[in-house]
A and B are shown apart, each in its own frame.
Chain A
Amino acid sequence: MRKLLFVILILLAQHAMAVDDSKLLIREINRKFALVADYNANVDMKFDIPGVKMNSMKGKIFFKKPDRFRIRTKGIYFMPKQNPMQQIGSMLLDTNSYTSIISGYETLDGRECAVVNIIPTGNQSELILGKFWIDKKNPLIMKTQITTRNNGTIETQNVYGSMAKYALPEKITIVVEMKRFKMSKMMTADLNKKSAPKKTENQTEKGRISMTMSNYKINTKFSDAEFTAE
Chain B
Amino acid sequence: MKEFIAIFKNELVKTMKRPRSFIGFAIISFVCMVLQAAFYQDGKELLSMVTSQFEQVFSVQGNVLNGNLICFIILQTLIVQMPLLVAFVTGDTISGEAASGTLRFLLTRPASRTKILLAKWLSGLLYTLILLAILGFFALIVSRWIFGEGDLVALNSDGLTIIRAHEINWRWAAAFFIAFLSLSVVATYAVMLSTMMDNSITPIVTVMVTIIVFTIIGLFDMPSFDLIKPFLFTTHMISWRSLFEDPIPWNVIIQSCSILAIHIMLFLGIGIYYFKRKDIQS
Q: Using CB atoms and an 8 Å cutoff, list the residues of chain B in contact with chain A.
A: 50, 53-64, 76-77, 80, 150-151, 153, 155-162, 164-165, 215, 218-219, 221, 226, 234-235, 238-239, 241-242, 245-246, 252
Contact = CB atoms under 8 A, between A and B. Distances in A.
A75 B149 CA distance: 10
B62 A76 contact: yes
A187 interface: yes
A151 B160 contact: no
Given A79-B61, A189-B76, A189-B238, A52 B160 contact: yes
B54 A182 contact: no
A190 B164 CA distance: 21
A176 interface: yes
Given A76-B151, A192-B235, A152 B57 contact: yes
A167 B54 CA distance: 31
A149 to B, nearest CB: 12
Interface of A: 49-55, 57, 71, 73-81, 150-152, 176-196, 207
A176 B164 contact: no
Given A77-B61, A178-B57, A179-B53, A187 B155 contact: yes
Given A75-B165, A183-B155, A53 B57 contact: no
B151 A184 contact: no
Contacts of B150: 75-76
Q: Top 5 nearest A-B pairs by Cβ distance? A: A51-B159, A76-B62, A191-B218, A54-B162, A190-B157
Contacts of B234: 191
Contact of A81 (B57, B156, B159, B226): B57
Nearest to B252: A192
